[in-house]
Each structure stands twice: as structure tokens, then as C-alpha cells.
Amino acid sequence: MAPALELMAREVLGKRDNSGFLVAPAVIVLLAMCGAGVLIVVCYGAARFWMSEEEKGIPEPPAEQVDYMRELRARNLDALMADGAHARYQAGRATTQSFVSDSTAPIK
């Protein structure tokens, strides 16, 4: 009975290679990654086979919408130009009035 126990203890307590697997864990991970890649390629091929080849794309907007967007862009451009002119006016005014002292301003 002693030799059988010794053999069993050697198998159970001895250092295991590959964590008890017949194939190294790194090989298992590599095979899983390759399998996932093959699955992606197969799914892509099936999707191209069964899906329509015509691209629908973005439909052309109706003429009313095109006119409205053109008008809106023009209004926005006018507003931006007015803001820019106002900012230039304020900037020019600030430089000319920087020499005038304000009696209510605190002295720095």
C-alpha cells in the first residue's frame, strides 16, 4: 500500500507544468484570439453577402429646408459681423479714452 500512496502524493503534491492543462495557457489564449479573429471575418463576409450593396446615405433635404438654412446662415453672418464691428468700436474707444482719468475709479 505504501508505493501506491507515494505515487499518488508525487502526482498531487509535485509541481505541475501548464497548471494541469495539456497545452500551455499562453497557447490557449492565442488560439482563442485567433478564433475570435476568424469569427469576425466570417461575420463580416456574411453581412456583406446578405446586406444590400446600395448605400442609402443622407437623403437630399427638401427645397424649403435648403432655403431656410441659407436664410439662417445669412442672418447669423449679419449678427456676427455686427458683433465684430461693435467689438472693434469698443476696443478703439478704450484706447482713446485710456488717458482720461475717472474720478470714481480707485487708485492702484
Mind listing the pLDDT tens digit for each residue in 94-108? 655 555 555 555 555
Q: Is residue 5 part of a domain?
A: no
Q: Is residue 7 part of a domain?
A: no
Residue type, 60: E
Q: Is residue 63 part of a domain?
A: yes
Q: Is residue 41 part of a domain?
A: yes
Q: Is residue 86 part of a domain?
A: yes
The three-class DSSP label of residue 85 is: helix
The domain tally of the chain equals 1
Q: Is residue 53 part of a domain?
A: yes
Domain containing 60: what range? 25-103
CA distance 72 to 77: 9
Q: Is residue 108 part of a domain?
A: no
Q: How many residues does the chain have?
A: 108
pLDDT one-digit tens code per residue, 13-37: 655 566 677 888 889 999 999 999 9
